[in-house]
Amino acid sequence: MIKSEKKKVLVVQVGKIGDMILTTPLFSGLKKIFPQSEIYVLTSKVNNEIAERDPDVTGTIIYKKNFISVLKLISKLKKIKFDYWIDTKDEFSSTSKTLLKFGKFEKSLGFNTKENLFGISLKDFVKGTHTVDINLSPVAYFNNEIDLKQFIPRINIPEAVRDKIKNIFGSTDRKKILINISAGAENRYWKTEKWLELMHSIDTGNDIYMISDFKDRHLAEKIEKNYKSGNLTYIHAASIFEVAEIVKSSDVIVTPDTSIVHIASCFNKPIVAMFHNVEWVLQRYAPLSETSRVIISKEKDSISDVKVSDVVSALKEIILQIRNTNI
């Protein structure tokens, strides 16, 4: 176990929004071990605001790949003396290769490949197969006896956003079912006809809320136009924090494999998630919510063959489970 003292730490996470959400347990784990530490995060423009609002993060540095920005970043890294450089990407990291040689770091932690970029290899400190387990490997390195399960993903939602979404949902005893139709890749999209069939199978005593990425508004509007009952509300979320509050305010979420799965995990929300049939994807990105159903496609490169009936059955199971729990 490393002695607890004030440390200055730089965590590298230049991926997508979901990647940052699944890295937030590392921030709280490091803060637990080093309560007086200053934790900085090297972010991407896309995921920066998640780290920026995390209560355990001192500050963020946005990584831009253009030449001038990299030179400015190198200059900044030379001025700040970090005790630890931490990169939990468990494959070759071009970011670390570029920047490690220029910064002032007492120790570097990461996953060594053929190029031994890091002074400390994290491979032997991974306690599971989920991405959160991989991201918590530095915590296990610093304290191999600590209970890692206490560190879960989180997202800090601004109060103004909470108030806005509260007004949309109002107060009702009806179950609020959230359907997200968007995903980060084409192979994780479900046909609009299937979404409509799913929605028409839901008891009209429940309220349905639908969200989508901005680029998919035409799909959402097509679904909205062709849905025959009056219990559907399409919410135009303006930010990832609004999406998070919508997820938090819902009773059950139905979604393809995307960052919504990880946001639901932040609030332990019951979820039905559709995944394509690739084992390592399931292992690394499965829902962490206590109540979840994962529907796996037969195809390896698409969720298009997922049956509506399977999603309906899973959703009904979860709704029944929630009702029985609340009795």
**Higher confidence at residue 100 or residue 34?**
34
- The answer to whether residue 2 sits within a structural domain is no
The reply to whether 1 falls in a domain is: no
Clarify whether residues 171 and 205 are in a common domain: yes
Q: What is the pLDDT of residue 1?
A: 53
2 has a pLDDT exceeding 80: no
Please check whether residues 29 and 144 belong to one and the same domain. Answer: yes
pLDDT of residue 222 exceeding 70, the answer is yes
Q: Which helix (H) or strand (E) holds 295?
A: strand 292-296
Residue among 89, 31, 63, 54 at smallest CA distance from 244 = 54
Which two structure tokens, joined as six digits, stand for 284? 């690394």
Torsion of CA 21, 188, 285, 13, to 10 degrees: -40
pLDDT score of 227 more than 90? yes
| pLDDT tens string 228-256 | 898 999 999 999 999 999 999 999 999 99
Where does a domain end: 97, 125, 150? 150
What's the total number of domains in the chain?
A: 2
Full residue range of the structural domain in which residue 107 is found: 8-150
- CATH value at residue 110: 3.40.50.2000
Same-domain status, 75 and 140: yes
pLDDT at 324 over 90: no
Q: Are residues 304 and 267 in the same domain?
A: yes
Q: Which residue has the tokens 């197969």?
A: 129
pLDDT score, position 194: 98
Under 8 Å between Cβ of 152 and 266: yes
**Which pLDDT value is given to residue 23?**
99
- Alpha helices by DSSP H, the chain: 17-21, 24-33, 48-52, 67-79, 94-99, 131-135, 137-142, 159-169, 192-201, 217-226, 240-249, 259-266, 279-285, 308-326
What is the structure's pLDDT at 65?
A: 86
What integer pLDDT is reported at residue 14 of this predicted model? 96
Give the number of residues written for the chain.
Answer: 327
Last residue of a domain, one of 131, 150, 169: 150
Asked whether residue 4 carries a pLDDT value surpassing 70, the answer given is no
Residue 285 placed within a domain: yes
Residue 30 located in a structural domain: yes
pLDDT tier for residue 79 given thresholds of 50, 70 and 90: confident
Residue where one domain finishes, among candidates 104, 122, 150: 150
SS3 assignment, position 41 = strand
In a domain, 263, yes or no: yes
In this structure, the answer to whether residues 278 and 204 fall within a common structural domain is yes
The answer to the question of residue 42 being in a domain is yes
Please name which of 22, 19, 61 lies closest in space to residue 42, comparing C-alpha atoms: 61
Q: Please check whether residues 135 and 32 belong to one and the same domain.
A: yes
Query: Can you tell me the distance from the alpha carbon of 45 to that of 64, in angstroms, rounded to the nearest whole number?
Result: 8
- Residues 51, 20 contacting (CB under 8 angstroms): yes
Average pLDDT for the chain: 94
Res 38: pLDDT: 96
139 and 178 both lie in a single domain: no
* Statement: residue 83 has pLDDT above 60: yes
Rounded Cα gap, residues 219 and 212, in angstroms: 8
- pLDDT 10s digits, 276-316: 999 999 999 999 999 999 999 999 999 999 999 999 999 99
Looking at the structure, tell me whether residues 286 and 311 fall in a common domain.
yes
Q: Do the domain assignments include residue 186?
A: yes
Closest CA to 142 of 27, 23, 24, 34: 34
* One domain, residues 202 and 277: yes
In a shared domain, residues 320 and 177? yes
| 302 and 243 together in one domain | yes
Is position 304 within any domain? yes
Task: Indicate if 168 and 140 belong to the same structural domain.
Answer: no
State the average pLDDT over residues 22-30: 99
Instruction: Give, rounded to a whole angstrom, the gap between the first and last alpha carbons of the chain.
Output: 46
